[in-house]
Chains A and B, each alone.
Chain A
């Protein structure tokens, strides 16, 4: 565009702005008659003007103050309390991280908390409390928090200095090498398990917050800012109503103001991250705009990335189990997740044969249930109406659902073997109730017909019920344990929920 033409654009633009919005377009059309190019030029300028009239309102140095004053804000070379700041090692949402030495020569990471964390005394108190809990976490995969120091009115978090690369940095080179993927995921899950045990939820798990030390050790950072989810604390913790997390990794419930967040939110973030580490791509894509648009959407609604299965088949099921919208449908504990990940790392430790016994048992139990329902049908006339009909209907309903659930388990064991533990854990209590109802109706029928002089048949029914109950309470646990489908003791606990 030449200056002459720009002057015309200027004139039409300013005259248009003086018009009413109603007549503006007509005016521009009129003034640019016969020159569609000029019309477009003015129109797009007017649109930009109405969309962001104050885009340059703040001076440049206010937009990125650290560019103007960066060096001077730095703490490098300063003495802060008993810490001598050596160098800057990283920057994150929480501020700049420095390497420092303390008065006994130990090298630590020092992080000044942003003013907005420290100004409000209430927030400050909470932060102190959280750091206290975080300091009690001890695990090789968790960067240890040493202390929260108040020096000259400012708050500093002192923690273990981790030198290495963040997983984000590693991701820039593509997905994790296949030999590294599972061990990395298991380390992270172990860190989560330890933290969740103490009711600490990370809330902001993402590749930026996880480092691989030069010797290969994984370290989850920033547990110090997690909030305890214990029932006593929960109301206070959420009272501030501050959203903590990073879109793209936050679980759907984290977008709900004041919703209770428990360890299952970390499980969600873990799933997203596992996907990213396995494929090199975020499941929502790389465009930040689309991440914002979809961030509160459930990941279950398929994105193009998610419609393809992960290359590592067993992991696919595990990841999808992590990123379910409803917390109740995810892994309920990091331990359960670890068990599945470990099984994937060393496939079916107990071998195919033992697994077959469990599958065989499920099929046998299904056949037994069908036989039981048929038996109640056979004796319903001797029981008499309406009791016979009621008993039969109860038996039929219980048998149908129980058989369906068991067959579903057998099917799942062949298709998604690596999420079977969690799957079985969810449905087994129902199967147990249904089988008990079935056995109960058999016993009831037997009692009634025994009184009506059908002792022989009654004895058969009682035997059948006994076999069912024995199968449920003795044989099933044995085959399940043999197939390696039970969680270790520590993992049986329900998740650290706080309503």
Chain B
């Protein structure tokens, strides 16, 4: 695992770089302001990373694990930075109210989820890894099964209870 963490840290800039480059490409090609399809974007980033530097990845599973973990780190880091900015009374004007507007999706607190996922990892590291792959890495059930070398049915079972566990944790958290 230590080995993995190290490679994650060395690869994180690459993943991030690739995302930026892709997004910039999209923006040049498309008209400004047009909605990007983040899923397509991220998948494209994965494929490129996989193709461009094949020697850096032991195998596809290894790549998926690292990409998902990178994504998690990027998102959490930024969510944290944004939170700090907000608490500091900076200029941003996002308010909770806006999530209540019709059409707004109920939002998940990514930071709270990240912490809950750490707690899950203490009880069941495999399930935590699975959540990371699916939720932060965006892999499908089949891709996850291949990456973890378990059956899709097992992925589904783990996913169901891990989701329920995290949902419960987040709910308990929201009664601040």
Binding site for B on A (CB under 8 A): 1-3, 6, 9-10, 13-14, 17, 44-49, 51-56, 59-65, 67-73, 75, 78, 80, 88-93, 112, 115-116, 152-154, 166, 168-169, 172, 206, 208, 242-243, 246-248, 288, 291-292
User: What 9 pairs between A and B have smallest CB-CB spacing?
Assistant: A72-B23, A59-B138, A49-B164, A48-B168, A48-B167, A93-B98, A48-B164, A154-B33, A45-B164
Interface of chain B: mostly helix, strand, loop or mixed: helix
Determine the distance from Cα of A134 to Cα of B110 in the docked complex, in whole angstroms. 38
Contact A246 B101 (CB under 8 A): yes
Known: A49-B167, A59-B39. A206 touches B97 (CB 8 A): yes
Closest CB of chain A to B40's CB: distance in Å? Answer: 11
Which residue from A51, A116, A208, A247 sits with its C-beta under 8 Å from B167? A51
Binds A, one of B6-14, B46-54, B57-65, B128-136: B128-136
Determine the distance from Cα of A69 to Cα of B74 in the docked complex, in whole angstroms. 10
B12-45 contacts to A, CB under 8 A, are 19-20, 23-24, 26-27, 31-36, 38-39, 41-42
Which residue from B26, B92, B103 sits with its C-beta under 8 Å from A90? B92
Contact A288 B96 (CB under 8 A): yes
Residue B94 is within 8 A (CB to CB) of chain A in the complex: yes
Contact B108 A44 (CB under 8 A): no
Contact A68 B38 (CB under 8 A): yes
Closest CB of chain B to A398's CB: distance in Å? Answer: 51
Contact A92 B134 (CB under 8 A): no
Contact B75 A60 (CB under 8 A): yes
Known: A14-B157, A55-B163, A288-B100. A60 touches B92 (CB 8 A): no
A44 to chain B: which residues have CB within 8 Å? 168
B170 to chain A: which residues have CB within 8 Å? 55
Closest CB of chain B to A24's CB: distance in Å? Answer: 14
Binding site for A on B (CB under 8 A): 19-20, 23-24, 26-27, 31-36, 38-39, 41-42, 71-72, 74-75, 78-79, 82, 89, 91-98, 100-103, 105, 107-108, 110, 123-124, 131, 134-138, 157, 160-161, 163-168, 170-171
Contact A168 B138 (CB under 8 A): no
Contact B110 A93 (CB under 8 A): no
Closest CB of chain B to A95's CB: distance in Å? Answer: 9
Of listed A44, A60, A65, A172, residue having the most chain B CB within 10 A: A60
A67 to chain B: which residues have CB within 8 Å? 74-75, 78-79, 82, 110
A60 to chain B: which residues have CB within 8 Å? 71-72, 75, 110, 135-136, 138
Contact B161 A68 (CB under 8 A): no
Of listed A61, A112, A154, residue having the most chain B CB within 10 A: A61
Closest CB of chain A to B115's CB: distance in Å? Answer: 14
